[in-house]
A and B are shown apart, each in its own frame.
Chain A
Amino acid sequence: MTKNKFSLRRAVNNMNLVRFRFWFQIVAFALIVYGGYIGLDLGNKLPTFACVFNGEGTGGKCYVGELQHDLKHPLEGFIGFAGYAFLISLGMFAVWFWALNKGWCGFVCPLGTMQDWLTMAREKSRIRFSEYSWANRKKIKSIKYILLILLLLLPVMIANSVFGLPKLPNGLSMPFCDICPGRMMIPAFTGHFNQFYIDFSSKTDLVMTTLGMIITGLFLVGSFIKKRFFCYFCPMAALQYVFSKPALLKLYKDGDKCTRCGDCYRACDMDILEIADDVKTKNMVTEDCTLCLKCIAACPEEGCLEANFMGATIFESTKEGFVLRMAMDQHKESHAH
């Protein structure tokens, strides 16, 4: 039988995803946070939180930071060359994003990785994670879009008077960066704690930097008790999702093979109910999905869930893989008492 022959596909499907992701995330974290020291520069359109405040260390720059900066110009400027430049930037962001789709979140984003480390610490201390009720889970979905709109709008409103309103104070020029936990957490890893400050120079600065401190505190506490706590509210995820449809990496589901056992849902750090309950949709990259692939690893049905890159299956759920990952492949006799 061919069953016991080695094949790459089988080896991949049998992989220990937890371990693979753990190391992948460490490497990605190192490149993003320390890559600058070895001359890595991936540009400033990255669809992930490669924080600009990380100075020399950063291996590339976060597009959300760049975007706020770009938008702080008089609107007239956008007609003509600046407009093209803006669109080209956005396009480059999209191209980066398309390569991995939301996989940037599950495998690369340093903030995501930090949250996963906190989750590990909680798991080690045997403290149960908390969950949102389904109703609340639904409600908070819109918050990330509100944040996204604010971070797009506020810089514009500094440079322009929108609807006849007075221009906003300059202290709001990078409104999201002010409250982004990345600004404090990421430079901390290169030994720079200078972002932990409260700026008393103006009222706006005072409010925003205080908010930033609070949110960083929430980020740490929140993601210790709730898996991927911050990702539920992340405007980067909202921006990414706008471009998700044509992306190359996909999470596909064959609903006919699904028993709706819910194993995938239990594994999902983002509590995405549809991953188990939706048996009609093929593309399961939903707005909050981080493409962490944990659902595939937890699905016991042959070929029900798969990660697909440009039409080719790269990792899919199999019975054998499931049994190996759950360490159910061996028989330990119990001792009679």
Chain B
Amino acid sequence: MHTEHTIESPHERQNRHKAMEAIHVINALKEDFKSPIKSMEYFYTLFERVYCNHEPLHEGKSKIGTMCIQIPSEIIYALDGVPIRLCNGFYTDDEIGGDLMPQKSCPLVKATVGLFASDNFSDKPDITFSPTTCDQKTKAGAIIESFGHTIIDVGFPRTKESEASRAYWRESVKGFAVELSKFQGKKLTRTNLENSIKKVGYAQSLYHKLTEFRKHQAVPILGVDMFLVTNAFFFDKIDDWIRAVENLVAELEQRSSEGVHVAGKASPRIVYTGSPPIFPNYKIPLIIEQSDAIIVADETCSSNRMFNDMVAVDEWNLYDMIDSISDKYLKACTCPIFTQNDDRIRRIIQLVRSYSGDGVIYQAFAGCQVYEMEQRSVLAAMEREGIPILYIESDYSPSQQGQLTTRVEAFVESLKNRKRMKK
């Protein structure tokens, strides 16, 4: 197949580099830990197919790109689209995007811009909706548009307490629905929206079942595996994802009853928060779990925040379904772009309590200003609560590995000591 004389095109080169990044992480997940989970195979294979073999999953389907979690997937599914979340974790793309964004930008945004700039998708979005969340994401839309992609801004308020914000966001969501409905040539109806709300709700309920097992003394699944499962929801076929997670729930049930624990007896239990780990940027989660700690819960928009809060409908008519969707995506959101931050702090504390966390690791991407800025208030709150916390700044480059490992190991060690002292 591969003849010696072909000259590698830039796309092939990009794909090869990304495949290397991807397989490195997949192999680490598969091989570096004890007692692997059989039903995780689905996810390993899925990421391999998409990121190593560049295999499209949604040929013939209309693909709707989303830039953050605030674009309601319920509406996309109802209108027969496939939501593809474009938050990107590849260093290869980050480097491409680096030339198009200011020096000190967030690697996640750079990687997303880089991917659009290279126009090298396995599943290329036909249209992309960009909620005006953080400054960089908001402004990235225009840059991406300049490459010839269709980007539609969806106005997102940066306070969530006021009545005006609520009304504004409801209008935004309605506008989004109208726009998408036109694009798809399909009408939003009571039936199709109700079905998709229930389907997404069911998917969320499966996630909740998975997290239940992590509350136990013996934790049957690694945090990194959980990140992979939730990241798959960014792009997988929802019915396939649901089936795979149903299998996973069944296997974890089994493992849990057998008392399988994927970490050591004394391994500290970590609650992870901050900038979202997105495949294959599992740098910090991997270091944590390779340093004899276990992530039992997280407060990030690539995982828990995507699934935790559910749409509650009071009257199953179109008017109320759209409003309840809007409210859920605004009111429940703990994204740091909001002026007030106490909901996020309360959520972290609650996670520490309900998952018996020993400490919190807060990771911010260098250049992700909102998370960097919130660091102080979160640290202060944890201190008040007597919860140990480690703040780490990192980016997508593979270079600082050693230094990060040292810091994480030291923190894990201190948590172990603390645990011993308590006994």
Contact = CB atoms under 8 A, between A and B. Distances in A.
B331 A276 contact: yes
A5 interface: no
A337 interface: yes
Interface string B242-258: 10001000000100110
B195 A261 contact: no
Interface centre among B202, B242, B312 (most CB of A within 10 A): B312
B208 interface: yes
A263 B312 contact: yes
A262 B80 CA distance: 28
Interface in B181-223: 190, 195, 197-199, 201-202, 204-205, 208
A333 B240 CA distance: 10
Interface in B304-357: 308-315, 317-320, 323-324, 327-328, 331-332, 334, 343, 346-347, 349-350, 353
A257 B351 CA distance: 9
Given A128-B319, A319-B205, A263 B328 contact: yes
B88 to A, nearest CB: 27
Interface string B156-174: 0000010100000000000
Contacts of B324: 263, 266
A134 B163 CA distance: 7
Given A260-B331, A328-B198, A128 B205 contact: no
Interface residues of A, number: 37
A329 interface: yes
A275 interface: no
A300 B320 CA distance: 18
A273 to B, nearest CB: 9
Interface in B121-143: none
Interface in A128-148: 128-129, 133-134
B362 interface: no
30 contacts: A1-B257, A123-B315, A126-B319, A128-B317, A128-B319, A129-B315, A256-B346, A256-B350, A258-B346, A259-B332, A260-B332, A260-B343, A261-B310, A261-B312, A279-B346, A294-B314, A298-B314, A300-B309, A300-B310, A319-B205, A326-B201, A326-B310, A326-B311, A328-B197, A328-B204, A329-B202, A331-B239, A332-B198, A334-B199, A337-B80
Contacts of B77: 334
Contacts of A277: 161
Please provide the 6 A-B residue pairs with the shortest distance between their CB atoms, ordered closest to farther: A328-B201, A261-B332, A263-B312, A262-B331, A128-B319, A298-B312
Given A261-B332, A262-B327, A334 B195 contact: yes
Nearest to B349: A256
A330 B327 CA distance: 24
Contacts of A261: 309-310, 312, 327-328, 331-332
Contacts of B246: 331
Contacts of A337: 80
A122 to B, nearest CB: 9
Contacts of B332: 259-262
B314 A267 contact: yes
B338 to A, nearest CB: 11
A322 interface: yes
A279 B347 CA distance: 12
B237 to A, nearest CB: 10
Interface string A246-260: 000000000011111
A323 interface: yes
Interface string B356-381: 00000000000000000000000000
A250 to B, nearest CB: 22
Contact of A322 (B80, B238, B310, B334): B310
A165 interface: no
Determine the main DSSP class of B at the interface with A. helix
A332 B308 CA distance: 21
A329 B11 CA distance: 43
A8 interface: no
Contact of B323 (A123, A134, A266): A266
Contact of A266 (B204, B327, B353): B327
Interface string A299-337: 110000000000000000001001100111111111001
Contacts of B205: 319, 323, 328-329
A328 B202 contact: yes
Contacts of B256: 1
A138 B47 CA distance: 53
Nearest to B167: A133
Nearest to B312: A263
Given A133-B163, A337-B80, A1 B253 contact: yes
A258 B350 CA distance: 9
B314 A332 contact: no
A155 to B, nearest CB: 40
A264 to B, nearest CB: 8
Contacts of B198: 326-328, 330, 332
A154 B256 CA distance: 69
A121 B342 CA distance: 41
A259 B343 contact: yes
Given A266-B324, A330-B202, A259 B242 contact: no
Contacts of B190: 126
Contacts of A133: 163
A209 B216 CA distance: 66
A123 B328 CA distance: 21
Contacts of B239: 331, 333-334
Interface centre among B161, B197, B199, B246 (most CB of A within 10 A): B199
B306 to A, nearest CB: 14
A206 B354 CA distance: 64
A259 B347 contact: yes
Nearest to B256: A1
Contacts of A323: 201-202, 205, 310
A322 B312 contact: yes
A332 B312 contact: no
Given A259-B308, A259-B346, A266-B314, 7 more contacts: A126-B190, A128-B319, A261-B309, A266-B312, A298-B312, A326-B312, A333-B239
A195 B246 CA distance: 61
A134 B164 CA distance: 10
Contacts of A327: 198
B346 A328 contact: no
Interface centre among A123, A279, A294, A326 (most CB of B within 10 A): A326
